[in-house]
Structure 1
Amino acid sequence: MRTKTYYQLVRDVLARNIETGRLPAGTRLYTAAVADRLGISRPPAKRAIEMLASEGLLSALPKQGYQVGGPDIGATAVRENLHLLDLDLSMMTNQSSTPLAPRWGEVHDRLKGQLLNVIPFGTYQISESAVAETYGVSRTVAHEALARLDAEGIVRKSRTSHWTAGPLSVRMLDEAQEIRILLEPAALVQAGPDMSREELLAIRAALRNAAADGPALSIPRLAELETALHVTCLATLKNRKLHDLLIRLQLDHIVNELFRRHVTTPDDRDMIAEHSLVIDHLLIGDFTGAGESLRYHLHEDHQRTRARLKVLSLFREPQIAPWLSPLN
């Protein structure tokens, strides 16, 4: 049961983010932008902003809007995209019977996961309004999430301005893999010196156990090994933009998981041996050798994944989300 009015909850959420620095001094705030970021209507956002201004946490700007901090903070007001700020919204979620809508980033991740599970099977139209309704967000948030997926090449706008996705083609897989082969080995060479030896030993032990248990890996076992090599081993990479790009380009594990679910469990001995070679080079401090071994693995694994994708394209799609419609 609510103990505060809705606008008071919004006021508290904004105040906490100002106090913790998640809303930095000088950030320009508009009622519409705040309402959209929090997934609420404008009246409570307007009331909350006015309360914060009266308390001195915000100051009115000469033309329109407000800025974080008083008028004498000495900072030039900056118009930030509030969807790109990592705001803490937990207070409102915990105290309100109607939790705040997810950020566009959370919606993006959910959309991406569901899309990647179906696009190997065909082409789909995406309803932006249905996405907003399904996840309880505004159309602006839904649009932003889809726009990000567009930038990643997962969705696109048709000639009639409809969002579409699929099919996950061999060409799409080839293009993603081409970038990975160019960048991921070099990234591993950079990250290698900062990796934990204990973590590498644990990865090697997991690979040896997988090899001993049999040639075919379950979906969870495969995910564990793939994450160890392609995520954990890059975790110390200092260039976070490069790190995030490489994570987004990892489409092969989607195909391999779907192949196991809908077709059969393949022999994974070659993959395990390739992973082991990379880890062995890292353990002896041969980072260049680790990079070359990873390059070889990416090439070989891509050939296996291409063949599996062609088989998957012959199957019917699984159950799809309510915001998706198959296109013939």
Structure 2
Amino acid sequence: MAPLTGDNGESRAPAIVEPDRRASGLLGAARGAAGGRGSTIGTEHLLAAVVGTKGAAREALSDAGAAATLVLAVLSDREERDEWEEAWDSTDDEDGRVDSVAVLGESGDRCIRLSGAAARALRAAMRCARGEGAEEFTAVHVLRGLLAEEGNRARELLRTCEADPADVLRALDGEPVTPAERVGPLLRPTRDALLGRTPYPMSFWRRFLTGPAANWASVPLIWIGLEVREQARRLGDRAIGTEHLLLAVLATHEVGLRYPQLTGPGTGDPDTRYAGGASLAARGIDYAAVHAALTTRGGNLGSDARPAEKYLRRTRDGGTAALVTSLLAEEARARRLLGLLER
């Protein structure tokens, strides 16, 4: 873009376009993601902030396979590594960092710096807004700015989430996008709940405390506790039995395998935390087979020795191995259901 010229013929920088209300909040969220005052905001922090907004930008990212839960979990994993700079392939042009006031004017903060790539992305967002005749730039403009340059950390973050930046741009343009499906139809409700597309039912206060993009895959027993109720509901069952627990163990394990970016964060080795589902898979037992057996031949499974919820309470060690062991050690509906598969 050619520099603008003043009345005296001297070139001057393009006028700064102010952010709209949501974009102002986005910039504050990016500062928080970067660590607050004195930190450098990179394109990865701007992307994390965009995915936390409401509206077209977040929807385009989700449609392309970059749901908020996924983006934030991957960023958190990168930020927590001991060798932080080595966690990224891109430098985001940190050497070209600038004072945010130089880019954002009064909307900036002299205590906040922008990486060279982040500064260019915001300037691209302003150019996009000016090109549309808009007086303010929005989250959509910021997202377009982030994707305008190859090789920055925002694009790297999307690739790590297995989302194609080209799909994000197509979604922003209103075109249909069809990213590769990682799970079959039976497991998509579990996947969608994990990614926050159809959140698990819970109280207002629990949702407030956990946040809208909680990564349940990092705490598999809690995830199973949420999923088991949905397994019963989807089957039209009013009471929760051990067969629903078995389905929840298998569903969370199989979805987790297809989203390794989400199962890694958490306490302990993910292989240990998901050992219960892995032990069933090693025996050739999968969700589809158990679901089919339950819906076609599971009409007379008898009763459970104790309420299903008590199995979860007895296995609060962070992993699923003890849960599966206890399910199969007793004469429970889950054990009888597996017996149907072996006939």
Same fold (TM over 0.5): no
State the structure with bigger RCO (CA 8 A, min sep 6), 1 or 2. Answer: 1
Q: TM-score, normalised by structure 1?
A: 0.30
Q: TM-score, normalised by structure 2?
A: 0.29
